[in-house]
Amino acid sequence: MRNTGRSLFAVSFAVVLTGAAPVLAQPAAPPPSVVVATGEHRIKVAPDQAWAMVSLETRDARGAEARRLGAAAMTSVMATLKKAGLSGDVVQTIGISLHPEYEYANGRQHIKGMIMSNQVQVRIDDISKVADVLDAVGGLTLPTSSTLTVGGLRFDLRNRAGVQRDALRLAVEDATARARAMAAGAGVSVGRTLRIEEAGADGQMKFLQEPFMMARAGQADAAMPTPIAPSDIEIRAQVTVTVEIK
């Protein structure tokens, strides 16, 4: 009976050791050989949309009167924009304030009066009408208490997103062609495209940085139209592609 117990213990111990043996890990597959290439494409398109800022400042010693005069002057501006063919949904108020105007005398600050400021952004969807709209606003006859500034003219594309997608697609084609050329130079062929990354994109609106028209009490010369010559907008796309080679 004693020998039988030793044999069972030996068998049990062997089974435990066998179960505890580690499972050997399978060797990892080597990463694929790849070629990385960058591609770029630029598209130049004539702008079909313009934006401008119309700012109005009205001064008076009394805040209530500055507000009233400013409201009357901006009403005239809005009516002029409408007569120029712009609908209400393309004119948007982007800033309005009533604040004091200070002056200094004998080293001390005094309130000279109040300034009513009102600024609207105007969208012009017909480039051929840009000069007409600006001249119509600039030719307004305003009270001497009001100063009108038209500036911030910029040009853009209504279908900017679509042009950007076209540029991206063509940039990927360029990068893929470069990858094939590099692979051919190394005597190999390309396989699957493993990764595509957008490396950069560009295509800013075209701005005229300085205010280009000021009018006080109808100073604009109606006989001299404002010359407008927008340049093309360039949309640029850059991508990086990683392609398997074999």
Q: Tell me: the pLDDT tens digits for 94-138?
A: 999 999 999 888 888 889 999 999 999 999 999 999 999 999 998
Sequence-separated (6 or more) residues with CB below 8 Å from residue 121: 51, 52, 53, 54, 91, 92, 94
- Centroid of chain to Cα 148: 28
**Is residue 245 within a helix (H) or strand (E), and if so which, with residue range?**
strand 233-245
Cβ distance 83 to 77 under 8 Å? no
Using pLDDT thresholds of 50, 70 and 90, give the confidence band for residue 3. Answer: low
Quote the CA–CA distance of 44 and 236 in Å, as a whole number: 9
What CATH number does domain 49-156 carry, 3.90.230.10, 3.60.110.10, 3.30.1490.20, 3.30.70.2970?
3.30.70.2970
What pTM was computed for the model? 0.70
Using pLDDT thresholds of 50, 70 and 90, give the confidence band for residue 14. Answer: very low
Residue 143 has pLDDT above 60, yes or no: yes
Mean pLDDT of 17-23: 54
Chain segment 58-104, per-residue pLDDT in tens: 999 999 999 999 999 999 999 999 999 898 789 999 999 999 999 88
**Is residue 233 within a helix (H) or strand (E), and if so which, with residue range?**
strand 233-245
